[in-house]
Chain A
């Protein structure tokens, strides 16, 4: 049975070293090796790896530019950063050994490696970073006054709308973190259950499904972040200027 909490492998002082932390470190190493390799071999005539990276970077940059042309330079690093990090974390969690190689302590089985995104700490951290970065970018893009006007107004109707907006900011964090956490944990649980029923061939369809989930969840998280950033970095009164007089009342 998969627990909600990650298993502690050992303690370093007060810090518990969990199996998800080990996975994150492996992912970090993979990303750093990738960055090093890319940075070292960067040339005007690209090789296979550089070509692939350029294709992804160019595609993501174009997508960001089409959604938020003015803030593309600020939003893009977060967009692709979340995607790369979550996708590599998800996809490496499907490698053999995850959840299967471990230590048995009496009745309890502790896997050495576990999908990092099935640890709420990871997804919550990512969601918090996404939210905080979104609000910092928003303040920088529209100014503190316009930023606060989104949530607080003297008009009671818009004050209520502002409060709803505040609640929605909280739900954004919850939805981002729990969506990723739930999907990966559920996938992990399905794979473990199916594998325990019959370890050969039977998990293959579920495995391919999980590969799709790995990609889709990474895309969902990063695209949502990008969209939230794009919405909040757009000046609040802008749509009202050419639609209704609502903006003027709101101001």
Chain B
């Protein structure tokens, strides 16, 4: 203890220093170290979470881009199919329309022809009737003075009958 005393060891001062340091250490631990370590830990967690979120977001973004590409690709395919179908349908419609039109035209022509033939027949009949009348008139006029009225009537009637039969 003498050596210690030579170096200035004083029990009271020694005790004071011990208490002093312990108090400072306690305060340092409670009000500085703990909060700072907690803060650092929180910050680490926040950063880690941030990185995780960023990774998740990146993954989601990549997925979204891929999905977008898929959707665009499928939409293109669908649209191409639709266009193809539409073209085919349009062709079919045009062909059908053409066919229908052709058929209609043919029908119209046919009916026109039939009508024309009917008309022709009618006209021929009328012409025949009028020719016959003219012929009867001419016969009547030619027989005037050649035969008596009775014969004349008989000839005309016979002639008319013959003509009727012929027409």
The residues of A with any CB-CB pair to B shorter than 8 Å are 3-6, 14-16, 18, 21, 24, 28, 31-32, 34-36, 38-39, 42, 44, 50, 53-54, 57-58, 61, 76-78, 80-81, 84-85, 119-122, 124-126, 128-129, 181
A129 x B22 contact (CB < 8 A): yes
A34 to B28, CA, bound (A): 9
A-B Cβ contacts below 8 A, count: 105
A32 to B28, CA, bound (A): 8
Q: Which residues of B contact A4 (CB under 8 A)?
A: 6-8
Interface residues of B in 95-143 (CB under 8 A from A): none
Q: List 22 A-B contacts (CB under 8 A).
A: A3-B8, A5-B8, A6-B8, A6-B13, A15-B12, A28-B20, A31-B24, A38-B31, A44-B42, A53-B32, A53-B36, A61-B40, A120-B4, A120-B7, A121-B17, A125-B14, A125-B18, A125-B21, A126-B17, A126-B21, A128-B18, A181-B7
Closest 10 CB pairs of A and B: A5-B8, A125-B17, A120-B7, A121-B13, A81-B25, A77-B29, A39-B31, A125-B18, A121-B14, A35-B32
B17 x A35 contact (CB < 8 A): no
Interface on chain A toward B: helix, strand, loop, or mixed SS?
helix
Q: Which residues of B contact A61 (CB under 8 A)?
A: 37, 40
Q: Does B51 contact A (CB under 8 A)?
A: no
Interface residues of B in 66-106 (CB under 8 A from A): none
Given A42-B35, A126-B21, the answer on whether A54 and B40 have CB atoms closer than 8 Å is: yes
A129 to B18, CA, bound (A): 7
* 16 more A-B residue pairs beyond the given contacts A57-B40, A119-B8, A129-B22, with a C-beta to C-beta distance below 8 A: A4-B7, A15-B12, A15-B16, A24-B17, A31-B27, A42-B35, A44-B43, A61-B37, A77-B25, A78-B25, A81-B24, A85-B24, A121-B8, A121-B16, A124-B9, A124-B17
Q: Which residues of A contact B27 (CB under 8 A)?
A: 31-32, 35
